[in-house]
A and B are shown apart, each in its own frame.
Chain A
Amino acid sequence: MFSSKMYLKILFFILGMIVTTTVAYSYYFSKNYPLPITNRISFDAKLQFIRENIDPSKIDTIVVGSSLALNNVQGGVLEEESKTCKGVLNLSMWSIGAPQVEQLLEVSDAFPNLKRIIYSGQFSDFGNKLVFKDFDSNFIQKYMTNTLNPIVYSDLLLNACKDVSFCLKRQEEWKSNYGMNNKFAYLKFDHTGSAPLHIYGKDIVKERWKNPHAPVQIPEAFQALIRIAKKASNDKIKFYFIQQPYRQPLIDAHPGVKLVMKKFAKNVNLLISKEGGKFFNLHEKLHLTDDYFADRSHLNDKGSKIGSKEIAKFIDESEKK
C-alpha cells in the first residue's frame, strides 16, 4: 500500500499513458486510413478523402452515383478534356441507389461554387428504395469540410478507434484489398475522388462478367431522381444523367435486360428533361466492346477514360448552347 498521493501519481501516469497512446494511435489512423464512422468503408474513405484533399470552394462539378460513377467516371480526365469542368469531385460510393444519392446530395451545400451535378448510373441503380439510416447531412458536411467542433471531432476520433482490433484489421485490409487497383474493392482515389479499375484478364470475376443484373425497377427510385433534378434546377445547378455502358453480349442474350435498358433510358430522359436536366446515353454513344469492361457494367481504366472524354465533350457542348 502506498500513500494516496503516490497512488494517484501512478494511477494518473497509467491512465495518461492509455489515453495518450489511444489519442496518438487514433490520430495516426485518421491520417492514414478511413476512420470508421459509417457502416460503409467506401463512404468512410470518400469522406476522409474530401476532408484531407479537397478545397470545397474549388469544386464546380460533382460526379455522383454508385460504383458506376466511382469507377466509370474519371474526374481527372473530365478536368483535362472539358473546358467547363475545372474542379471535379467524384462523390460516389459503392452500391447506392437513387434515394441514397438524393440523401448524399444534401451535402452539396458545402460547395459554394458548384455549377453542375453529373449523376452516372445504370438501370441497376434504380432497383431498390434503400435510404441511409440516420443520415445527418449537416454533420457530414462539417466532417468533410473539416469544420467540426474540436470536441465533437475528438469524440468521433476516439469512438472510431475504440475497437483497436477493428482498426488494425482495416489497416491490413487497406493494404491487401482496398489499395489494389486490380480488385473491385479498390478505394485509392485519384485527385478527384475517382477510382479507375485496372481489372483485366485473370482478375476479372467470372460471376460478375457473365450474369446481368435483375431487370427490376422501383418507382421510388425514379421519384428520388425527379426530386434530385428539381432541387438542382431550384438551386440553379445544371444536372446531367449519364447512362453508363453495359456489356452488349449480355443485352443481346437477355431480352429482359434489353427492354429495361431501353425503358430506363426513355424514362430518365423524360423525367429529368421536365426539370431542365440533360440525359446522355453513353452506352449508345460508345457501343464499347468487351475489351473496355471489368465486368458486366464496370469499365476498366481504358473504358472509363474513353467514357469520361465523351462526357466532357457532351457537357461542353450542352453548356455552349
Chain B
Amino acid sequence: MLFNSYEFIFFFLPITFFIYFYLNKKRLTEASKGFLVFASLFFYSWWDIAYLPLILVSMLFNYTVGRELSQHTQKRRAYSSKTLLGMGIIFNLGLLGYFKYSDFFIMNINKAFDGHISLLNLALPLAISFYTFQQIAYLVDSYRNETKEYDFLNYAVFVTFFPQLIAGPIVHHAEMMPQFAQLKNKVKNYYNIALGLFIFSMGLFKKVVIADTFAIWATKGFDAATELNMLEAWATSLSYTFQLYFDFSGYTDMAIGIALLFNIKLPMNFFSPYKATSIQDFWRRWHITLSRFLKDYLYIPLGGNRRGEIRTYTNLFTTFLLGGIWHGAGWTFVLWGALHGFALVIHRIWQKLGFKMNVVIAWFITFNFINITWVFFRAVNFESAVKVLKGMFMGPLIIPSSMINYFESLKEFGFKMGHWSKLYQHETYMGLWFIAAFVVILLFSNSMQWKNKFKPNFFYMGLTILFFLSIFLLHRKSEFIYFNF
C-alpha cells in the first residue's frame, strides 16, 4: 500500500489509528502493540503476501540471536559471542545477497568466464534492504550489550512499524523502543496529530505534485530519447535530481508525519541536502539515517579515522562503495558509490591541506557533482548514462530560431538553430518548474525547520489544506524510488 493512495489515506490510516488508541484507552497495551504489528504486516502484505514469510523468518531469527547475544555473558556457551554475531550478520547479508545480488553475480560470472548459468530471476522482497540493516544494527548492539530485554512483540513493533518499514528512516532500537514503552505515548496527543498531519501533507505534496512532475521529464530523457542535445540532457539530469529529492524526502516526511500521529518521533532523514557546500556536508544532510548506519556499523568498525590517513581514505572509499552497492545490484551503482567515496577522499585531503573555497563556488561544484553522479544512479545501464552525460557535455546546443537575428554569427561555430528541444517541446512550464525547484531547495526552510516552527494556527492550517489538495493528483500514483532499494 502506498502512502499516496486513497486506500491508505482514507481507510488504512484512520482505521489503524482509531483501533490502536481505542485499545490503549481500554488499557490493552499489549493488544494495541499486537494490533500495530498486525496492521503493519497487513500494510506490508498489501503488495504481495508472498513476502510475508520472509520478513517473519528474518524477525524471528534476529530476535533469537539478539536475545542470545544480550544474555551471552550470563550463560556459558559452546561458542563465542563473536561467532554468534558473525552467524547473525552472515544470515542477514546472505538473505539480502541471495535476493538482491544473486542475478547480478551470476551475470558477471557468465560474462567473465563465458558461462551459461541460468539467472534466478528473483523478485526483490519489498523493504529487505531496510529491515536487514535495521536488524544488523540490533544484533551488533546486542553484542555490545547496548540492548535491553525486549519481548518479541516489542521487537516486532520496532522492525515492522509501518511508517518506516518500507523505505526508512533506518531506525535504531534505542530511539524507538523507549517511545513505544512510554505511557504518555499511548494517549492521543492533539498537538502531535496536528503536526503529523501538517508534515504528512507536505510530504504528499512533494511526492505527488513535485516529484511526479519531474519524473515524467526524467523518464523521457533517460528512457525514451535515443540522443539528447545539451539543454535536453541538462533538463533530464536536473529533472531526476529534483525528482529523487522530492520523492524520497516526500516519502520521509509522510513517514515522519504518520509516526507522529502515533506519538512516535522518527529520526530526521533530510536536511536541505542540495544546500550542501561540500560532499561531506551533503552526506550529513542526505539520507541521514543511512549515513549514520554506514558510519556506526561499517566505517567505524573498519577503523574509521583512527588508523592513519591512508587507512581513513580506504575506509571512507570502501564505506561509500558498499553504500553504492546497497542501493542496487548493478555496476552503475558501484560506480556511483565509488565516485562519492572518491569525492569524500578528495574533500578530506583538501581539508587536511587547509584549503578554503568561496561558498558559492563550493555549492556550485557540490551540486553539479551530485547532479552528474545521479546520472549513474538513475540510468538503467552505462549506455543510458553515457547518452545523458554525452548530451550534457558534448551535445549540440540549439539556439531558438526566434533569436536567429542576434546569434546569426554563432552558426559558423557549429551552433544549430531550431526549437531548443524536440523532446520537451510541449512542456511549456518546464523552465518555471526548474526555477521553482531551485527556489524551494535553496531558499525555503526544510520540513524539519517547518516542523520546529509549527503552531496550531490558521497559517499552518491553510498550508495543510493546500498540501492536502494534492490528493486530487493521486491518479498519478507511482511508487517511491527508494522502494526499489
**Interface window among A4-12, A124-132, A222-230, A244-252:** A4-12
* Set A3, A5, A7, A162: member contacting B461, Cβ < 8 A: A7
Instruction: Establish whether residues B474 and A3, one from each chain, have CB atoms under 8 Å apart when the complex forms.
Output: no
Which residues of chain B are within 8 angstroms of A158 by Cβ–Cβ distance? 6, 471-472, 474
Q: Which residues of A contact B (CB under 8 A)?
A: 1-8, 10-11, 14-15, 18, 22, 151, 154-155, 158-159, 162-163
**CB closest chain-A residue, reference B462:** A14
Instruction: Establish whether residues A7 and B474, one from each chain, have CB atoms under 8 Å apart when the complex forms.
Output: no
Which residues of chain A are within 8 angstroms of B7 by Cβ–Cβ distance? 151, 155
Which residues of chain A are within 8 angstroms of B471 by Cβ–Cβ distance? 158
Q: Total A-B residue pairs with C-beta atoms closer than 8 Å?
A: 56
- For the complex, is B89 an interface residue (Cβ under 8 Å from A)? no
* Set A1, A4, A15: member contacting B465, Cβ < 8 A: A15
| Chain A nearest CB, measured from B184 CB (Å) | 15
User: What are 8 of the A-B contact pairs (CB < 8 Å)?
Assistant: A4-B194, A8-B456, A18-B469, A154-B6, A158-B471, A158-B474, A162-B473, A162-B475
Instruction: Establish whether residues A159 and B191, one from each chain, have CB atoms under 8 Å apart when the complex forms.
Output: no
Instruction: Establish whether residues B456 and A151, one from each chain, have CB atoms under 8 Å apart when the complex forms.
Output: no
Measured between alpha carbons, how far is A195 from B23 in the docked complex, in Å? 59
Which residues of chain B are within 8 angstroms of A163 by Cβ–Cβ distance? 472
Measured between alpha carbons, how far is A22 from B472 in the docked complex, in Å? 10
Instruction: Establish whether residues A11 and B472, one from each chain, have CB atoms under 8 Å apart when the complex forms.
Output: no
| Chain B nearest CB, measured from A30 CB (Å) | 15
Which residues of chain B are within 8 angstroms of A2 by Cβ–Cβ distance? 456-457
| Chain B nearest CB, measured from A17 CB (Å) | 10
| Chain B nearest CB, measured from A16 CB (Å) | 11
Instruction: Establish whether residues A11 and B455, one from each chain, have CB atoms under 8 Å apart when the complex forms.
Output: no
Given contacts A11-B464, A18-B465, contact A3 B473 (CB under 8 A): no
Instruction: Establish whether residues B472 and A8, one from each chain, have CB atoms under 8 Å apart when the complex forms.
Output: no
Instruction: Establish whether residues A8 and B464, one from each chain, have CB atoms under 8 Å apart when the complex forms.
Output: no
Instruction: Establish whether residues A5 and B190, one from each chain, have CB atoms under 8 Å apart when the complex forms.
Output: yes
Q: Which residues of B contact A (CB under 8 A)?
A: 5-7, 11, 190-191, 193-194, 197, 455-457, 461, 464-465, 468-469, 471-475
Which residues of chain B are within 8 angstroms of A5 by Cβ–Cβ distance? 190
| Interface of A: prevailing SS | helix
Given contacts A8-B190, A162-B473, A162-B475, contact A151 B457 (CB under 8 A): no
**CB closest chain-B residue, reference A163:** B472
Instruction: Establish whether residues B456 and A7, one from each chain, have CB atoms under 8 Å apart when the complex forms.
Output: yes
Which residues of chain A are within 8 angstroms of B475 by Cβ–Cβ distance? 159, 162
Instruction: Establish whether residues B461 and A10, one from each chain, have CB atoms under 8 Å apart when the complex forms.
Output: yes
**CB closest chain-B residue, reference A5:** B190
| Chain B nearest CB, measured from A112 CB (Å) | 31
**CB closest chain-A residue, reference B7:** A151
**CB closest chain-A residue, reference B476:** A159
**CB closest chain-B residue, reference A12:** B197
Instruction: Establish whether residues B6 and A155, one from each chain, have CB atoms under 8 Å apart when the complex forms.
Output: yes
Not counting A155-B7, A158-B471, A162-B475, a sample of 10 additional A-B residue pairs whose C-beta atoms are within 8 angstroms of each other reads A2-B456, A4-B190, A4-B194, A4-B456, A8-B197, A10-B461, A11-B194, A11-B464, A158-B472, A162-B473
Which residues of chain B are within 8 angstroms of A4 by Cβ–Cβ distance? 190-191, 193-194, 456
Which residues of chain B are within 8 angstroms of A162 by Cβ–Cβ distance? 472-473, 475
